[in-house]
């Protein structure tokens, strides 16, 4: 598609002059016509990122700062809506900054780097974030799932007023709001940025289905969906995750919101939590035990080469869920794998339903919110896709 930003080595006929270190590069057709300005780095698994199709653009760190500031400005007015002070400010290639994600949590900004480009221009991104929103603190981490492919060492760097700190001056109990619910920002070596802002709209939708239901929240992490179904009046909710620390944070956040009156009194009594492998756990539950399930697994396909195995795992998870859930039950099911298209995911659900001997009705088509825009020239930016389905047996 026109303006797709990724170029792999097989698409490059020659490099003149030859260079190995990361640097700006102009890209031309075989007959010498200008295509784009890009960033070339042989150590990256994507050797060339295209960033501007304007031949007159001057490429520099200042240009990167401009891209970052423009991205943040596009979110103007989103922060503070609906009792929310957590938001994605920069969404990688969808905002023309490859491998760079920036989230803000009530004064704490977190930058997640998943490309050598993002690592190289980190100081410029920090400067842009500081100048645009003036956060109390900026934290930068390398996405562990991309560190090896990008030849990057994992790190966690702290910036105060734009200046890097030699020591991490830890903060405690930093709270932020999403949809009038309180969350404590996870510290240390966290998953991604420590919270998943992309599910904000979907959590609200799930809340609307929860009343009177027994809910299973698989891959619950720190409890975004759990809090919403409790507020929505579920009869009970079982949260399951492989991380003990995430479940501990979940339990504490339920108590926190109960104490603040954000969820009904007695919510803690309707909640149980268990540390387990979710793919195995769902096989162990009794049929008809739950009439609502939330399936939000981690990324199963990081690349196209992993697509077949990922679809097999998604199908197995959803097939078992369809077999176990009560007749007429609701399943919220997701994939956050960019390599899995929405068409792939929907077809997978059809085959899962066939093997489970069930009919499925799609009630809601689910995606990330407007702070996670989908760039049409970069289909991979629609990484989060999901459905709310009713299972009929």
Q: Return the CATH number at 218.
A: 3.40.50.150
Does residue 328 share a domain with residue 272? yes
pTM of the model: 0.92
Could you give the angle at the alpha carbon of 303 between the alpha carbons of 301 and 308, nearest 5°?
A: 55
Radius of gyration of the chain (CA): 22
CA distances from 52 to 13, 47, 67, 300 (A): 20, 16, 10, 31
Residue ranges in 200-356 assigned as alpha helix (H): 200-209, 224-231, 244-259, 278-284, 307-324, 342-356
> What is the band of 194 on the pLDDT scale with cuts at 50, 70, 90?
low
Q: Which residues form the domain of 43? A: 6-57
Tell me the per-residue pLDDT of 243-287, one tens digit each, with 9 for 90 and over.
999 999 999 999 999 999 999 999 999 999 999 999 999 999 999
Strand partners, 359: 392
**Domain end marker among 164, 183, 206:** 164
Q: Cα(71)–Cα(375) distance, rounded to whole angstroms?
A: 13
With a cut of 60, say whether residue 193 has pLDDT above it: no
Does residue 347 share a domain with residue 238? yes
Tell me the per-residue pLDDT of 331-357, one tens digit each, with 9 for 90 and over.
999 999 888 999 999 999 999 999 999
The torsion of the CA quartet 40, 46, 52, 58, rounded to 10 degrees, works out to -20
CB 38 within 8 A of CB 51: yes
| Percent of the chain whose pLDDT exceeds 70 | 95
Whose structure tokens read 């096989």? 283
Does residue 368 share a domain with residue 275? yes
Does residue 357 share a domain with residue 336? yes
Residue 188 in any domain: the answer is no
Residue 39 in any domain: the answer is yes
Q: Are strands 385-392 and 34-40 parallel, antiparallel or unpaired?
A: unpaired
- The mean per-residue pLDDT over the stretch 183-205 comes to 79
Residue 178 in any domain: the answer is no
Distance of CA 103 to the CA centre of its chain: 11
With a cut of 70, say whether residue 326 has pLDDT above it: yes
């Amino acid at each position: 598609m026109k303006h797709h930003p990724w170029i792999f080595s097989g698409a490059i006929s020659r490099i003149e002059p030859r260079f190995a270190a990361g640097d700006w590069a102009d890209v031309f057709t075989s007959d010498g016509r200008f295509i784009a300005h890009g960033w070339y780095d042989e150590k990256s698994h994507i050797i060339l990122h295209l960033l501007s199709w304007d031949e007159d653009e001057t490429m520099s760190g200042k240009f990167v700062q401009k891209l970052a500031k423009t991205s943040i400005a596009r979110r103007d007015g989103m922060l503070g809506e609906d009792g929310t002070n957590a938001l994605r400010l920069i969404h990688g290639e969808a905002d023309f900054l490859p491998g760079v994600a920036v989230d803000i949590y009530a004064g704490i900004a977190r930058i997640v780097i998943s490309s050598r480009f993002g690592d190289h221009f980190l100081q410029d991104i920090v400067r842009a974030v500081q100048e645009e929103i003036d956060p109390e603190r900026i934290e930068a981490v390398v996405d562990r799932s991309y560190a090896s492919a990008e030849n990057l060492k994992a790190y966690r760097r702290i910036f105060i007023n734009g200046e890097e700190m030699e020591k991490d001056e830890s903060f405690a109990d930093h709270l932020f709001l999403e949809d009038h619910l309180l969350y404590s920002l996870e510290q240390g070596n966290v998953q991604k940025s420590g919270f998943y802002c992309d599910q904000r709209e979907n959590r609200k939708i799930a809340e609307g289905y929860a009343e009177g239901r027994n809910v299973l929240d698989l891959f619950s992490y720190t409890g975004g969906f759990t809090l919403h179904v409790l507020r929505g009046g579920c009869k009970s909710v079982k949260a399951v995750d492989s991380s003990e620390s995430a479940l501990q944070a979940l339990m504490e956040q339920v108590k926190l919101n109960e104490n603040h009156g954000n969820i009904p009194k007695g919510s803690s009594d309707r909640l149980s939590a268990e540390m387990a492998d979710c793919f195995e756990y769902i096989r162990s539950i009794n049929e008809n035990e739950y009439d609502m399930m939330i399936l939000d697994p981690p990324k199963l396909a990081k690349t196209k080469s992993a697509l077949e195995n990922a679809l097999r795992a998604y199908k197995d998870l959803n097939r078992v869920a369809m077999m176990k859930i009560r007749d007429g039950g609701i399943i919220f099911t997701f994939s956050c794998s960019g390599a899995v298209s929405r068409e792939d995911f929907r077809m997978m659900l059809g085959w899962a339903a066939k093997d489970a001997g069930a009919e499925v009705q799609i009630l809601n088509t689910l995606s990330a919110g407007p702070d996670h825009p989908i760039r049409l020239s970069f289909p991979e930016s629609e990484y989060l896709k999901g459905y709310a389905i009713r299972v009929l047996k």
